[in-house]
């Protein structure tokens, strides 16, 4: 049985974890399903194709991230639904909270009228995330340099303190 995190239900489903919240929304990139754009897929097909559980899909639906059509009570996913799912899964893999993903997806509008707003949002988010990660990398590099210096000095001190005979 998959854990909630494996199902894409991490932090936003009430599961505590070390999920970064300020990662860039890479789901802004254009993704296209290679299948026929008019093709409808059932929940089992979508789950198999995208490696998600039916529970995760239903969860995304309750959060307003997905809105599949229903035919005779059965959920069917069109190309738009699948493209949204790909963006959701990519964002979740980077640790983006569902509230941020929903905000991004909602900007699109009914017919793409919010695409410029989406792209502007993505540029702002990615610029901020890049700057944050670069600052963290600089801090890590400085810490590594300091640790290497401490390690080298400690080795020198230990070697100087050992009796000459014990070293041989």
14-33: pLDDT as tens digits: 333 444 444 444 444 445 54
Chain centroid to CA 41: how far? 24
The confidence score (pLDDT) of residue 3 equals: 44
DSSP H or E run through 56: helix 54-62
Number of domains comprising the chain = 1
Residue 5, in any domain of the structure: no
Which residues span the domain enclosing 92?
Answer: 11-158
Residue 154, in any domain of the structure: yes
Residue 152, in any domain of the structure: yes
Residue 57, in any domain of the structure: yes
Q: 71-86: buried (b, 16+ CB within 10 Å) or exposed (e) per residue?
A: eeeebbbebebbbbbb
Is the pLDDT assigned to residue 64 strictly greater than 50?
yes
Mean pLDDT of the residues in the chain:
81
Residue 6, in any domain of the structure: no
Q: What CATH code is carried by the domain that includes residue 51?
A: 1.10.1660.10
The confidence score (pLDDT) of residue 27 equals: 40
Residue 168, in any domain of the structure: no
The confidence score (pLDDT) of residue 69 equals: 95
DSSP H or E run through 151: helix 115-161
> Residue 23 corresponds to which tokens in the numbers above?
């990662």
Q: Cα–Cα distances in Å, from 67 out to 18, 40, 63, 94?
A: 29, 13, 10, 23
Phi, psi of 51, deg, nearest 5:
55, 50
> In DSSP terms, which residues pair with 75 in a beta bridge?
70
* Average pLDDT, integer, range 82-104: 91
Query: Does the predicted TM-score (pTM) go above 0.75?
Result: no
The confidence score (pLDDT) of residue 28 equals: 43
* Average pLDDT, integer, range 119-146: 94
How far apart (Å, rounded) are the C-alpha atoms in residues 113 and 9? 30
* Average pLDDT, integer, range 92-112: 88
Determine contact, residues 108/118, Cβ cutoff 8 Å.
yes
Q: Report the share of the chain in percent with pLDDT over 70.
A: 75
* Average pLDDT, integer, range 118-129: 90
* Average pLDDT, integer, range 36-61: 91
């Amino acid at each position: 049985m998959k854990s909630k995190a494996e199902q894409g239900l991490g932090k936003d489903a009430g599961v505590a974890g070390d999920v970064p919240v300020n990662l860039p929304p890479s789901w802004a990139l254009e993704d296209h399903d290679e299948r026929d754009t008019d093709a409808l897929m059932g929940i089992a097909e979508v789950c198999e194709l995208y490696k998600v559980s039916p529970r995760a899909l239903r969860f995304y639906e309750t959060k307003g991230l997905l809105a599949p059509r229903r035919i005779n009570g059965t959920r069917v996913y069109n190309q738009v639904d699948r493209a949204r799912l790909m963006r959701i899964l990519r964002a979740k893999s980077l640790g983006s909270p569902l509230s941020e993903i929903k905000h991004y997806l909602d900007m699109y509008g009914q017919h793409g009228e919010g695409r410029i707003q989406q792209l502007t949002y993505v540029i702002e988010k990615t610029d901020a995330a890049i700057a944050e990660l670069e600052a963290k990398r600089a801090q890590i590099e400085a810490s590594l340099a300091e640790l290497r210096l401490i390690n080298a000095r400690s080795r020198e001190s230990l070697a100087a303190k050992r009796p000459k005979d014990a070293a041989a």
